[in-house]
Amino acid sequence: PTPDRAVARHPAWLPPEAFGPLGIRSALVCGTGPLVDTVVEELTRAGTRYGGRVHRHARAGAVELVLALTGADPLPPVAARLAGEVAGTLGAEGFLLDRSGHVPVLLADTPAGLLYGLFHLVRLGGSAFDLHPVERHRPALDRRMLDHWDNVDVHPVMGQVERGYAGGSIFWRDGAARNEPDRIREYGRLLAACGVNAITVNNVNVHATEARLLTDRLGDVAAIADLLRPYAVRVHLSVTFAAPVVLGGLPTADPLDDRVRAWWATATRQVYDRIPDFGGYVVKADSEGQPGPFTYGRDHADGANLLAGALAPFGGVVHWRAFVYNHRQDWRDRTTDRARAAYDHFAPLDGRFRDNVIVQVKHGPIDFQAREPVSPVLAAMPATRLAVEVQVTQEYTGQQRHVCYLGPWWSELLGFTPWGPQGRTVADIAAGAGRTGTGAGGGRTGTGAGAGRTDTGAAGGRTLPGGGLVGVANVGADPFWTGHPLAQANLYAFGRLGWDPRLDPRAVLDEWIGLTFPPSTTGDPALVRRTLHEIMDDSWRTYERYTAPLGVGFMVNPRDHYGPGVDGYEYSPWGTYHFADRDGVGVDRTRATGTGFTGQYPCPWAERYESVEQCPDELLLFFHHVPYDHVLRSGSTVIQHIYDTHFAGVEQVKTMRQRWQRLAGLVDAAVHARVSGLLEEQLRCAREWRDQINTYFFRKSGVPDTHSRPIH
Ligand code: GCU
């Protein structure tokens, strides 16, 4: 391994200036424990730079800020009474901030709460010292995890990081641990500052070397865990279901075989011997060629429960992915619908998973397309802990060469109400919250499996904790962490929305701008802020406009998934079709005439999606095959909508580029140069998308653009 080298890394949302308002004050920190030490270290570092001091004794003289554990003894008079009142009510990660007196007091029951509170103060900046009523904060979702699809060995096709667009892995290089502790520590800081509390360190596709992280390469994982522990980030491992065979030399990995059970028990105990706070396993089984329980005639519950049994004595969990479908299907067979697969495999298993199994569900039924409906699995398993999985890495949203702020999308997803406006949200499901609404679902109206189902909440009156929010990480060895400097905002927003799904994504972006481009470092803070909002707020919809239309998805180049490839997957075994012909386009997923997928939703969505009139425009082609002259709810025809959005999307990218030019000289030169270069590529690629999509549909349909714009 090469030793740590001094790489100039961009500080992302934690530049030293962000600590200025804290660094000039004298602060008192009460409490003990490793995470309290982290808080002290952070404040000391800020104080060293800005002249403030950190005190550790309750009787220290004049202090301007107090951060204290409610159980610390002694506490200063300014904190003691309130601490007595609130002790035990703040939660495992929560905190309270009292700015009603002359000294702000931050209280937490746990050291983790104190750490999150510190970063809350950083976000508040100078206003942390303004008068304000008491606020309490605690995360809505307990589990906020990033999955790194990092390989230890460079994979011949996927490289060091599968679907990674930010250079190599921060953990691994050419088969070995990268051994750059500073970088991993800085990463941990960034994660804590946005609220992420868990990661996996290797790809869900577990190849030969990576399998060994569980056994003889465990030391590498333990080293990462040691570096992240001071920031309250727990480490998980992706494991191969075939581990007992490939690592243990057993003849079988059958989940019901005692030898297999014993093997997992021993392997897992050894993991906890090295990493006592190890989080657990992540498993992609019987999916895209990965091994799984099907080989032995068992199902996913058998498989997941096997690993859960091994983890249970240590408090670990298994994240079992629901991304299971037939990737060797025949495009001629119109009855097989990939969108149905996760529900068909998993919904019947509801209630069979052990309590420390989390079924990890991709947010949409297909595969992280720029627009998909919410996965019906999320509404179909009331007796199972469910996690929602999103892609922070921009595999299908511009690969960190395009500006595409994903906060608004995740916010829509987390706020989606599968049972209608009065019912629970996706965030509630991921939080494991009981029924908060009445559930708007009505009686039985559909013929599909789920149609008409009402929200039953947790089965049997049991309240299970939630599975949380999981994101595929977008971080790599790139000095900007995320390749595109503005893609840092996605990582930040992921953590913040996991903490509080109700946050306005524009407000989250605003926080990110304020931290990343501190006013003191930019020539014109107001212009910088405004311009970044103008460029980023709507950038996901801009991306949607110039790529695949109306939710049809997957018009990308096969393999690298970048740029237009309208028919790239049309005759492939992957099950991702658009069925465009001379008359129309889209996938008929209705119960009446199509694959029946709409029946997997509860009311009212089963009905809305089934109806070509009521289906939201942005998902029309996901659910229906319609003629080109079909009139959308917007009033435009499908074909004219395709032309209009594609022309508009490119113009919007041109405007982004112009706006970014205004910031030359006002923001860090390296950031400016990197983004400028990438905007050129975004514009080139958007034009390519526009021209291929428009030309394709013009040739298929023969319908001219009503505005006679150039179509080739
Ligand atoms: C996508 C992606 C794969 C990945 C898979 C998954 O299909 O292209 O690289 O392995 O998702 O989520 O497992």
CATH number at residue 283: 3.20.20.80
- In this prediction, residue 438 carries a pLDDT of 31
Would you say residue 538 lies in a domain? no
Q: What is the ipTM of this complex?
A: 0.99
Cβ–ligand 1 contact at 210 (below 6 Å): no
Flag whether pLDDT at 542 surpasses 80. Answer: yes
* Average pLDDT of the segment spanning 425-439: 72
Would you say residue 9 lies in a domain? no
395 annotated active-site: yes
Domains identified in the chain, total number: 3
Cβ–ligand 1 contact at 204 (below 6 Å): yes
Cβ 685 vs Cβ 563: under 8 Å: yes
pLDDT band with cut points at 50, 70 and 90 for residue 62: confident
pLDDT band with cut points at 50, 70 and 90 for residue 61: confident
Would you say residue 167 lies in a domain? yes
Would you say residue 329 lies in a domain? yes
User: Which residue's CA is the nearest one to ligand 1's atom 2?
Assistant: 163
- In this prediction, residue 444 carries a pLDDT of 30
Cβ–ligand 1 contact at 369 (below 6 Å): no
Cβ 265 vs Cβ 174: under 8 Å: no
Q: Supply the CATH number for residue 31's domain.
A: 3.30.379.10
Minimum-distance ligand 1 atom for the alpha carbon of 561: 8
Cα-atom radius of gyration of the chain, to the nearest Å?
26
Flag whether pLDDT at 141 surpasses 70. Answer: yes
Question: Is residue 678 domain-shared with residue 572, that is, in the same domain?
Answer: yes
Cβ–ligand 1 contact at 338 (below 6 Å): no
pLDDT band with cut points at 50, 70 and 90 for residue 435: very low
- State yes or no: cis peptide before 74, omega within 30 of 0: yes
Flag whether pLDDT at 441 surpasses 60. Answer: no
User: Which residue's CA is the nearest one to ligand 1's atom 10?
Assistant: 205
- In this prediction, residue 60 carries a pLDDT of 76
Mutate to test the pocket of ligand 1, among 327, 367, 372 (most ligand atoms within 8 A of CB): 367
301 CA to centre of ligand 1 in angstroms: 22
* Average pLDDT of the segment spanning 496-514: 98
Would you say residue 224 lies in a domain? yes
* Average pLDDT of the segment spanning 418-442: 74
In this predicted model, which residue has the larger pLDDT, 6 or 266? 266
- Determine the 3-state secondary structure of 710 from DSSP: coil
Would you say residue 84 lies in a domain? yes
Mutate to test the pocket of ligand 1, among 151, 372, 389, 395 (most ligand atoms within 8 A of CB): 395
pLDDT band with cut points at 50, 70 and 90 for residue 453: low
Flag whether pLDDT at 249 surpasses 50. Answer: yes
Cβ–ligand 1 contact at 402 (below 6 Å): no
* CA 609 – CA 643 distance, rounded (Å): 24
Measured from the Cβ of residue 526, the count of other Cβ atoms closer than 10 Å reads: 9
Question: Is residue 298 domain-shared with residue 386, that is, in the same domain?
Answer: yes
Cβ 112 vs Cβ 232: under 8 Å: yes
Maximum distance among all Cα pairs of the chain, rounded to whole angstroms: 82
Question: Is residue 587 domain-shared with residue 614, that is, in the same domain?
Answer: yes
CA-closest candidate to residue 537, choices 633, 637, 652, 437: 652
Question: Is residue 47 domain-shared with residue 165, that is, in the same domain?
Answer: no
Q: Which of 29-33, 276-280, 518-522, 673-677 has the lowest mean pLDDT?
A: 518-522
Cβ–ligand 1 contact at 554 (below 6 Å): no
- In this prediction, residue 696 carries a pLDDT of 98
Flag whether pLDDT at 445 surpasses 60. Answer: no
Question: Is residue 54 domain-shared with residue 124, that is, in the same domain?
Answer: yes
Q: Could you tell me the residue range of the domain that residue 267 belongs to? A: 144-433+464-503
Give the burial string for 26-39 (b: 16+ CB within 10 Å, else e).
bbbbbbeeebbebb
290 CA to centre of ligand 1 in angstroms: 11
Q: Supply the CATH number for residue 547's domain.
A: 3.90.1330.10
pLDDT over 90 percentage in the chain: 93
Minimum-distance ligand 1 atom for the alpha carbon of 287: 13
Question: Is residue 115 domain-shared with residue 206, that is, in the same domain?
Answer: no
- In this prediction, residue 457 carries a pLDDT of 58
Q: Which of 97, 118, 137 is the last residue of a domain?
A: 137
Question: Is residue 101 domain-shared with residue 199, that is, in the same domain?
Answer: no
CA-closest candidate to residue 448, choices 582, 607, 562, 241: 607
- In this prediction, residue 4 carries a pLDDT of 44
Q: Which of 137, 162, 192 is the last residue of a domain?
A: 137
* Residue 235, strand partner residues: 199
Flag whether pLDDT at 640 surpasses 70. Answer: yes
Cβ–ligand 1 contact at 323 (below 6 Å): yes
CA dist 561 → 367, 369, 398, 554 (Å): 12, 10, 9, 8
- In this prediction, residue 463 carries a pLDDT of 77
14 CA to centre of ligand 1 in angstroms: 31
Would you say residue 71 lies in a domain? yes
Cβ–ligand 1 contact at 637 (below 6 Å): no
Flag whether pLDDT at 634 surpasses 70. Answer: yes
pLDDT digits (tens, 9 = 90+) for 482-496: 999 999 999 999 999
| DSSP per residue, 186-235 | HHHHHHHHHT--EEE-S-SS--HHHHGGGTTTHHHHHHHHHHHGGGT-EE
- In this prediction, residue 455 carries a pLDDT of 73
pLDDT band with cut points at 50, 70 and 90 for residue 462: low
- In this prediction, residue 58 carries a pLDDT of 86
165 CA to centre of ligand 1 in angstroms: 14
Question: Is residue 163 domain-shared with residue 119, that is, in the same domain?
Answer: no
Would you say residue 612 lies in a domain? yes
Minimum-distance ligand 1 atom for the alpha carbon of 203: 10
Mutate to test the pocket of ligand 1, among 161, 238, 323, 559 (most ligand atoms within 8 A of CB): 323
pTM: 0.96
pLDDT digits (tens, 9 = 90+) for 169-191: 999 999 999 999 999 999 999 99
Q: Annotated catalytic residue: which of 288, 412, 504, 567?
A: 288
- In this prediction, residue 454 carries a pLDDT of 64
Q: Annotated catalytic residue: which of 302, 395, 511, 588?
A: 395
- What mean pLDDT value characterizes the chain? 94
Question: Is residue 131 domain-shared with residue 149, that is, in the same domain?
Answer: no
* CA 408 – CA 540 distance, rounded (Å): 8
72 CA to centre of ligand 1 in angstroms: 47
- In this prediction, residue 448 carries a pLDDT of 43
Mutate to test the pocket of ligand 1, among 160, 202, 288, 324 (most ligand atoms within 8 A of CB): 288
pLDDT digits (tens, 9 = 90+) for 186-240: 999 999 999 999 999 999 999 999 999 999 999 999 999 999 999 999 999 999 9
pLDDT band with cut points at 50, 70 and 90 for residue 1: very low
Which phi-psi region, left, alpha or beta, contains residue 678 (left: φ > 0; alpha: ψ -120 to 50)? alpha
* Average pLDDT of the segment spanning 23-38: 97
- In this prediction, residue 292 carries a pLDDT of 98
163 CA to centre of ligand 1 in angstroms: 8
* Average pLDDT of the segment spanning 114-130: 97
Question: Is residue 331 domain-shared with residue 348, that is, in the same domain?
Answer: yes
Q: At a CB cut-off of 8 Å and minimum separation 6, what does 286 contact?
A: 292, 293, 294, 295, 300, 303, 324
Question: Is residue 398 domain-shared with residue 278, that is, in the same domain?
Answer: yes
Cβ–ligand 1 contact at 286 (below 6 Å): no
- In this prediction, residue 375 carries a pLDDT of 98
Flag whether pLDDT at 436 surpasses 80. Answer: no
Q: Count Cβ atoms within 10 A of the Cβ of residue 136 and give its class: 0-12 exposed, 13-18 middle, 19 or more buried.
A: middle
Q: Which of 137, 159, 186 is the last residue of a domain?
A: 137
- In this prediction, residue 391 carries a pLDDT of 98
User: Which residue's CA is the nearest one to ligand 1's atom 13?
Assistant: 204
pLDDT band with cut points at 50, 70 and 90 for residue 450: low
Minimum-distance ligand 1 atom for the alpha carbon of 158: 9
Measured from the Cβ of residue 332, the count of other Cβ atoms closer than 10 Å reads: 7
CA dist 569 → 428, 556, 578, 579, 694 (Å): 35, 8, 9, 11, 18
Question: Is residue 307 domain-shared with residue 369, that is, in the same domain?
Answer: yes
